[in-house]
């Protein structure tokens, strides 16, 4: 009995992952320019927070990087969803939160250091907190879900590793945030721009792994799996 011929995804579906990877690559270039060109962003990468790029002449590079990353992540979400890798509604919601919170960080700038606290600044703060946590949660849960599948074991392993490695870098920000905002405390946020950038590198690496994973899954003849 002849086996059914593999179904080749439509052109639009095949462009999802390359489009996402291209968006991530351009976003990475924009971030590199911000860190290297002091005329556009006269900031110290070791001490200045990433959100400070919203207050410099090169803000459009920062906003562009966030928008491209959000757009690429949305395309990646669709690709992973179409192949059954990201079928759990909770994980889909977490990935949507990542995409939306990135846009919110771009639209709502942080309050200048020492300035008045505004509604815009509060939205930025909450969106930043969601952004830092949502992607590692997705990466860890997705890797755990598929860790025993021989087709995806390598991707699942790296997804879990990168997600778990990123979480400790999140703690210096979320602990003071929780105490100050929710409990009315006055813990200072550790001014660790370097820590935040290391977390950013890990999350970019996680996006690269998810992108490569989706690329392999979108190949014709791959059997859909359920998460």
Best CA proximity match to 189, nearest among 120, 95, 110, 106: 110
Residue 120: predicted pLDDT:
86
Give Cα separations from 60 to 20, 35, 93 (angstroms).
20, 14, 28
Best CA proximity match to 209, nearest among 141, 156, 165: 156
Q: How far apart are CA 216 and CA 42, in angstroms?
A: 41
Digit-by-digit pLDDT tens for the chain (227 residues) are 344 444 455 656 678 899 999 999 999 999 999 999 989 999 888 888 888 898 899 999 999 999 999 999 999 999 999 888 888 899 999 999 999 999 999 999 887 766 667 888 888 888 988 888 899 999 999 999 999 999 999 999 999 999 999 888 877 666 666 666 666 656 555 556 888 888 899 999 999 999 999 999 877 554 444 44
Q: How far apart are CA 177 and CA 173, in angstroms?
A: 6
pTM: 0.83
Residue 104: predicted pLDDT:
95
Helix ranges restricted to H, the chain? 11-14, 16-36, 59-82, 89-107, 119-145, 153-177, 193-217
| C-alpha count within 13 angstroms, C-beta hemisphere, residue 139 | 29
Rounded to the nearest 10 degrees, the angle between the axes of helix 89-107 and helix 119-145 is: 150
Best CA proximity match to 41, nearest among 29, 28, 54: 54
């Amino acid at each position: 009995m002849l086996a059914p011929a593999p179904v080749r995804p439509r052109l639009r579906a095949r462009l999802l992952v390359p489009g996402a990877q291209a968006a991530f690559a351009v976003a990475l270039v924009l971030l590199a320019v911000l860190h290297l060109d002091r005329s556009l962003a006269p900031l110290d990468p070791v001490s200045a927070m990433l959100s400070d790029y919203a207050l410099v002449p090169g803000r459009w590079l920062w906003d562009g990087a966030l928008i491209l990353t959000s757009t690429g992540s949305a395309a990646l979400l669709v690709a992973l969803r179409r192949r059954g890798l990201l079928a759990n509604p909770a994980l889909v919601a977490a990935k949507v939160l990542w995409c939306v919170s990135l846009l919110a960080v771009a639209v709502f700038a942080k309050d200048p250091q020492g300035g008045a606290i505004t509604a815009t600044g509060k939205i930025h703060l909450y969106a930043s907190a969601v952004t830092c946590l949502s992607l590692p949660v997705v990466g860890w849960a997705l890797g755990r879900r598929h860790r025993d599948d021989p087709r995806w074991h390598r991707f699942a392993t790296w997804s879990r590793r990168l997600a778990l490695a990123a979480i400790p870098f999140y703690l210096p920000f979320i602990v003071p945030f929780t105490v100050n905002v929710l409990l009315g405390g006055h813990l200072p946020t550790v001014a660790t721009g370097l820590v935040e950038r290391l977390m950013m590198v890990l999350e970019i690496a996680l996006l690269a792994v998810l992108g490569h994973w989706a690329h392999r899954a979108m190949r014709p003849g791959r059997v859909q799996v359920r998460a």
